Chain A
Amino acid sequence: MRRLRALPSIAILAAGYGFIFLPVVVLVLFSFQDGRLPVPPFKGFSLDWYEHVFANRRLMDGLGHSLAVALGSSAAATVLGFLAAWGLARARPRWAGAAQYVLMAPMTVSYLIIGMGLLITFNALGIPKSLVAVGAGHLVINLPLAFAICYAQLGEHQATVEQAARDLGASEAQALLLITVPMLWPALIASFCLAFTLSWDEFVIAFLLTRFDVTLPVAIWSMLRSGLNPETNAAGTLVFAVSIVLVLAVETLVLRRARRG
């Protein structure tokens, strides 16, 4: 009887997971295709296409550029977002509400529009397209995230410990670096990893703001013109794997801990 009652639930989950994983499974499976087309039938297991990816100059350049942009923009976003969260939580200036509103605003606007705004502005100022411009765009989309994560973690508990440190003679900067930063370590890592994932995957801003030196998603985009190709599958699988590792790192490092606490 219990079994029978569980049947519809199992059917719903199976259908749901099937739908959600279908394209991913096809992507990953046919990245190992021993043949020229990433479609059935599966002709056998081969790592050739991964070799192609690692030998593809454009993709490897894109990989390097993506890493640089993601590292730079996530680090900058995490530092600025943390400082802003700490400042607003501790000093509570009268304009804190307005500041919060401004800092979170980029979250409500499409990446396409953020990219367009930067493109038109840089164009008007005569600033050429470059990876630095992409990094600036990614800083804009990552900053609200970093701010929100850090702000949510800054409670009265840390304030008390910080105050104790100050009472014992630490300067404000010492209390910040030696007390607050170590206590917020998981939030800082989480914000860095999530920002990195967003930047690493981001396409449209990078597409608008680069010309010759492109990021990995833009390089993959231009591979699509050649149609279905197992090399694209292999590149996509690798990008996906990096994101998954980062997300799982956040999950284990921070969310677990937050749940226990």
Chain B
Amino acid sequence: MRHGFTCVIAAAVLVAAPMAAAAQVSASPRTVDGRPNLQGIWQVLNTAAWDIQDHPARLGVPAGQGVVDRGVRTIYTDGTPHPEGSINWWMGDSRGRWEGNTLVVDVVHFTDQTWFDRAGNFHSDGLHLVERFTPAGPDHINYEVTVEDPAVFTRPWKMSMPFYRRKEANVRLLEYDPGLLLDQEQAERERRTTR
């Protein structure tokens, strides 16, 4: 009898599991106005910071597969258009809209001074991005960006990667103050230098 009893429990668990997974997706958090709530601390788990393309390992750089086929950004979601150019902003001008559950962000008015990665992949000031943030459950966002820049690329191309929600208790973004850090580095160097 004990054996039979255990089987019933196991079956119930098997049935319940897929339902729980489905419920998890639909239970993605919402803001009070009903939009997907994308707030949180997110991180990618890939090597795109070194190189957005396939790359072998180098000293200090882990090998990684490409992601081809991140200051403060204000993304306006009030339906206003891009201001008239030409404007050269480090972060561009971002205008967002909702397509169903997806936040679609159109970005123009860049400088030509930024890179995609540490490998030096670059763009002109004519760069046009369309970013798509789609919730894929409470702790994942599928991020996709279409890159268009006729002055540098022969055709539009895409990168795609999941964002993972940081789940540590009390996780938060801390500060990176380059002015202060440069001062400290300089003071440290002077302390080490014998005169």
A and B found bound together: no
